[in-house]
Amino acid sequence: MSIYEFDDFRAFVRAQLGASGEGRGVYAKMAKKLGVHSSSLSQILSGGKPLSMEQAAKMTDYLGLTDHESEYFLCLVQYDRAGDSNLKSKLLKQLKRLQGQKNDLSLSLPHDQRLTKDQQMVFYSSWLYSAVRVLSSIPEFQSAEAIAQRLNLSRRELMEKLKFLISTGLCEEKNGIISPGPSYTHIEASSPLISKHHSNWRVCAMQKHANLKPGDLAYSSLMSISKKDALEIQTRIAEMIKKINIIRGKSDCEELRMIGVDWIEM
pLDDT of 202 reads: 85
| Domain ranges for the chain | 3-102
Of the candidate ranges 112-116, 149-153, 233-237, the one whose mean pLDDT is the lowest = 112-116
Write out pLDDT tens, residues 81-96.
998 899 999 999 999 9
How do residues 52-78 score in pLDDT, each as one tens digit? Answer: 999 999 999 998 888 888 999 999 999
| 178-221 per-position pLDDT tens digit | 999 876 666 666 678 888 888 888 888 888 788 888 888 888 88
pLDDT digits (tens, 9 = 90+) for 209-224: 888 888 888 888 888 8
What per-residue confidence (pLDDT) applies to 228? 87
The more confidently predicted of residues 186 and 250 is 250
Closest to 103 (Cα-Cα) out of 266, 218, 261, 251: 261
Nearest to 81 by CA among 99, 41, 2, 73: 73
Residues 161-169, mean pLDDT to the nearest whole number: 90
pLDDT, tens digit, 9 for 90 and up, residues 116-138? 788 888 998 999 998 999 999 99
Q: Residue 148: name the closest of 112, 187, 178 by CA.
A: 178
Q: Let me know if domain 3-102 sits in CATH 3.90.930.
A: no
Mean pLDDT of the chain: 85
pLDDT at residue 22 tops 80: no
> How far is residue 18's CA from residue 24's CA, in Å, rounded to a whole number?
9
